[in-house]
Structure 1
């Protein structure tokens, strides 16, 4: 009987350790950075990882986030005390901007894209058609109020062996030539 209890206790401890390890590796949008899909015209485009990160990744990046967020205000380039405070407003403004530029760029019909907003930067990730005027689209998107930079992490080949962004399906796979 004592041996049976020890075996059950050992099994319980192993299960608890495995559950704890799984919880540690869970990816969450810890910075509450706006992340959303804006188009779906190209099939099989891998979904980007976006701002999802593990707790360890969040901790490793925390000093950088604080420094980058505050330096904008310290340098006199931002009216708000932290560049990340702009992101929710930019997310609203970018929706209006996208509606306004669709007629000229036809981005909806020629792309499958997601946007991540972090500290006044817009990361554009996903797939575009080979003939799509990406430079015009990015330049028009950069005109959104309070945007500091637009970073191009797009591909014309959704089946490429390597992509310019991390994917939800394989977040640990290295990326090639990211725009940032």
Structure 2
């Protein structure tokens, strides 16, 4: 019985340390043209980070509706629709290539992360995302050209 309890406790600790998409935010890879572009961490967090984010997400999710800025009672309810629309819009977008790009949608905000070939691509992709219904903001956190620093957290 003690061995089972210890195993369960250790499993819980291991789960707490795992980096997972704990809020099930849309996270989509949309291109893979640049081979040396590391995958972003995106919406994946460990349990401690999830606990820190939980209050802010609850507050942000409902304040949008309470202030009359959202037609849904939670801003995060828009995210799946926004992700589907963005994926479709980017499918034929000239600014998408060449790039290796992922996007996350959280509370009507689109985060584009990855690598692009030229600086103008980032602005074009942000503008395309901002033009979609219900998108509040779009941010491109990308490495431009080969080398350079990554402006996003990446997977280990």
TM, length-normalised to structure 2: 0.87
Higher strand proportion: 2
* Partner of residue 33, structure 1: 25
Instruction: Name which one, 1 or 2, has greater alpha-carbon Rg.
Output: 1
* Partner of residue 124, structure 1: 112
CA contact (8 A) 1:41 1:112 kept: yes
| Aligned: 1:94 with 2:86 | yes
By how many angstroms is 1:19 displaced?
4.3
Flag structure 1 segments of 5+ consecutive residues without an equivalent. Answer: 1-8, 170-180
Q: Output the aligned Cα RMSD.
A: 2.2
| Aligned: 1:67 with 2:59 | yes
Aligned-partner Cα distance in 1 for 2:68–2:114: 33
By how many angstroms is 1:131 displaced?
5.2
TM, length-normalised to structure 1: 0.77
Flag structure 2 segments of 5+ consecutive residues without an equivalent. Answer: none
Matches within 5 A, 1:36-55: 36-55=28-47
Matches within 5 A, 1:92-171: 92-100=84-92, 102=93, 106-130=94-118, 132-157=120-145, 159-160=147-148, 162-169=149-156
By how many angstroms is 1:17 displaced?
5.9
Matched length: 154
